[in-house]
Amino acid sequence: MDRFASTHAPKPGKPCAFCEIAAGRLPARLVLETEACLALLDRSPLLIGHVLLIPRAHVVTLPEADDATLTGLAFALRSLTAALPEALEAEGTFVAQNNVVSQSVPHLHFHVVPRTRGDKLFAYNLTWKRVRYGSEAQMDEVAGRIRAALAAG
């Protein structure tokens, strides 16, 4: 078996949610769009402003991604990690990626989470608790701030 091939696939008959977002068939709060990838607000964030970066092409795990996809994702990750602190008055970012284990959607994605000292994202006996946006308007406002910071470069 090819060491880069995945055995983790979507459930038969159920479309990939991220492919549906990339095709414009499911709504999402997009903050970045390139030829290779999209970034959107996580609807169940670890912290407000938590972004998911996905390739447009369906790729299940990182080892399966081709060089062009990886290059596009790397440039987008760099932009996002610069923009989130600016947009959200954060001190830095946390970037994570799962392969199969804890990968709730079988489509490659990176989590980019804005960080501030004392945010308790990493605490003794770590259990990540998701937060909620107060409203759809708050999601729109956060997405807009991130898009503006990305546009400002």
93 forms bridges with which residues in the sheet? 114
Q: What pLDDT does residue 96 have?
A: 94
User: Which among 78, 87, 25 has a CA at the least distance from the CA of 50?
Assistant: 87
Q: Which tens digit of pLDDT belongs to each residue from 137-152?
A: 999 999 999 999 999 9
Domain count, the chain: 1
Domain that holds residue 96: 17-145
Q: Let me know if residue 1 belongs to a domain.
A: no
The parts of the chain modelled with pLDDT lower than 70 are: 1-13, 123-128
CB burial of residue 30 (10 Å; 0-12, 13-18, 19+): middle
Contact 143, 77 (CB under 8 A): no
Q: Let me know if residue 2 belongs to a domain.
A: no
Q: What pLDDT does residue 83 have?
A: 97
Q: Let me know if residue 127 belongs to a domain.
A: yes
Instruction: List the CATH number of the domain containing 121.
Output: 3.30.428.10
